[in-house]
Amino acid sequence: MFKSISTRWTWTCIQYRRLAIASAACPRSFRPQAKAAGAWPNLTVRCVPEPRGLYRAKASSSSNLAATASELESAKSQDALLREFAQIPVERIRNFSIIAHVDHGKSTLADRILELTGAITKQEGQHQVLDNLQVERERGITVKAQTASIFYKYKDQQTYLLNLIDTPGHVDFSNEVSRSLAACDGVILLVDACHGVQAQTVANYHLAKQRNLIVVPVLNKIDIKHAQPEKVIQDLQFLFQIDPKTVLQVSAKLGLGIKEVLNRVIESIPPPQVQREQEFRALIFDSWFDKYRGALNLIYILNGHLEQGQEIQSMATKKIYPLKTISILRPKECDVKSLSAGQVGLIACNMRNSKESIIGDTIYLKNQIVQSAGNYTPQKPLVFAGIFPVDQSKHVALRSAIDKMILNDSAVTLMVDSSPALGQGWRLGFLGLLHMEVFCQRLEQEHNAEPIITAPSVTYRIVLNNPRMIKQMGKNTLDISNAALFPEPSNIKEYYEPLVMGTIITPSEYVGQIIALCIDRRGVQQSSINIDETRILMTYVLPLSEIILDFHDRLKSLSSGYASFSYEDHGYHLTNLVRLDIHLNGRPVEELCRIVHATKATGIARQMVHKLKDLIPRQMVQIAIQACVGSKVLARETIKAYRKDVTAKLYGGDVTRRMKLLRQQAEGKKKMRMFANIRVPHETFINVLKR
Q: Which residue has the higher pLDDT, 411 or 164?
A: 164
Lowest mean pLDDT among 48-52, 200-204, 499-503, 568-572: 48-52
Cis geometry, peptide bond prior to residue 331 (ω within 30 degrees of 0) = yes
For residues 605 and 610, what is the distance between their CA atoms, to the nearest angstrom?
9
- For residue 578, with 0-12 CB atoms within 10 Å meaning exposed, 13-18 middle and 19 or more buried, which class applies? buried
CB 614 within 8 A of CB 608: no
Indicate if the pLDDT at residue 562 is higher than 50: yes
DSSP state of 611: H
Beta bridge partners of 532: none
Beta bridge partners of 59: 45
**The pLDDT value given to residue 452:** 83
- Which CA distances in Å does 274 have to 343, 365, 371, 466? 10, 17, 14, 55
Q: Which residue has the higher pLDDT, 683 or 192?
A: 192
Beta bridge partners of 388: 452
Indicate if the pLDDT at residue 51 is higher than 50: no
Average pLDDT score over residue span 206-223: 92
User: Quick one: what percent of the chain has pLDDT higher than 70?
Assistant: 80
Q: Identical fold at 79-268 and 579-689? A: no
**The pLDDT value given to residue 124:** 62
Beta bridge partners of 666: none
**The pLDDT value given to residue 45:** 35
Q: Please tell me the class of the 383-453 domain.
A: alpha beta
- Residue 221: band (very low, low, confident or very high) from pLDDT cuts 50, 70, 90: very high
For residues 455 and 591, what is the distance between their CA atoms, to the nearest angstrom?
12
CB 95 within 8 A of CB 272: yes
**The pLDDT value given to residue 331:** 83
- In the CATH scheme, what is the code of domain 281-365? 2.40.30.10
**Nearest alpha carbon to residue 551 among 577, 514, 602:** 514
**The pLDDT value given to residue 75:** 55
**The pLDDT value given to residue 53:** 37
Q: Beta-carbon neighbour count of residue 145 at 10 Å?
A: 24
Phi first, then psi, for residue 562 (nearest 5°) are -90, -25
Indicate if the pLDDT at residue 507 is higher than 80: yes
For residues 305 and 388, what is the distance between their CA atoms, to the nearest angstrom?
45
Architecture of domain 460-575: 2-Layer Sandwich (3.30)
Q: Which residue has the higher pLDDT, 311 or 686?
A: 311
Average pLDDT score over residue span 518-544: 92
In terms of pTM, does the model score above 0.75?
no
CATH topology of domain 579-689: Alpha-Beta Plaits (3.30.70)
Q: In sequence order, which residues have a C-beta less than 8 Å from that of residue 14 and are 6 or more positions away? A: 45, 46, 47
- The CA angle 44-46-49, to the nearest 5 degrees, is 170
Q: Would you give the distance in Å from CA 493 to the centre of its chain?
A: 38
- In the CATH scheme, what is the code of domain 79-268? 3.40.50.300
Average pLDDT score over residue span 286-304: 87
CB 393 within 8 A of CB 316: no
Indicate if the pLDDT at residue 147 is higher than 90: no
Strands 492-507 and 460-464 come out as: antiparallel
- What are the residue boundaries of the structural domains of the chain, listed by start? 16-62, 79-268, 281-365, 383-453, 460-575, 579-689
User: Quick one: what percent of the chain has pLDDT higher than 90?
Assistant: 29
- For the ranges 124-128, 321-325, 332-336, 659-663, the maximum mean pLDDT occurs at 321-325
**Nearest alpha carbon to residue 639 among 612, 664, 604, 676:** 612
- Binding site for GTP, by residue number, is 100-107, 166-170, 220-223
**The pLDDT value given to residue 20:** 41
Indicate if the pLDDT at residue 231 is higher than 70: yes
**The pLDDT value given to residue 689:** 58
**The pLDDT value given to residue 522:** 92
For residues 453 and 564, what is the distance between their CA atoms, to the nearest angstrom?
28
**The pLDDT value given to residue 658:** 78
Query: Would you call 287 helix, strand, or coil by DSSP?
Result: strand
CB 446 within 8 A of CB 392: no
| pLDDT tens per residue across span 130-142 | 666 676 666 766 6
Mean pLDDT over all residues of the chain?
Answer: 80
- The CA angle 511-512-515, to the nearest 5 degrees, is 85
**The pLDDT value given to residue 663:** 83
For residues 302 and 85, what is the distance between their CA atoms, to the nearest angstrom?
17
- Residue 68: band (very low, low, confident or very high) from pLDDT cuts 50, 70, 90: very low
- Binding site, by residue number, is 100-107, 166-170, 220-223
- Residue 10: band (very low, low, confident or very high) from pLDDT cuts 50, 70, 90: very low
**The pLDDT value given to residue 584:** 87
- Residue 424: band (very low, low, confident or very high) from pLDDT cuts 50, 70, 90: confident
For residues 404 and 355, what is the distance between their CA atoms, to the nearest angstrom?
8
CB 5 within 8 A of CB 57: yes
Indicate if the pLDDT at residue 432 is higher than 50: yes
DSSP state of 644: -
Lowest mean pLDDT among 15-29, 75-89, 434-448, 655-669: 15-29
Residue 522's region, left for phi above 0, alpha for psi from -120 to 50, else beta, is left
Cα distance from N-terminal residue to C-terminal residue, the chain: 67
Indicate if the pLDDT at residue 589 is higher than 60: yes
- Residue 548: band (very low, low, confident or very high) from pLDDT cuts 50, 70, 90: confident
Average pLDDT score over residue span 485-512: 91
- Residue 681: band (very low, low, confident or very high) from pLDDT cuts 50, 70, 90: low
- Return the axis-axis angle of helices 174-181 and 199-210, rounded to nearest 10°: 30
| pLDDT tens per residue across span 469-482 | 888 888 889 988 88
Q: At 677, which amino acid appears?
A: N
Query: b vs e for 581-609, b when ≥16 Cβ sit within 10 Å of the residue's Cβ?
Result: bbbbbeeebebbbbbbbeebbeebbeebb
- Residue 536: band (very low, low, confident or very high) from pLDDT cuts 50, 70, 90: very high
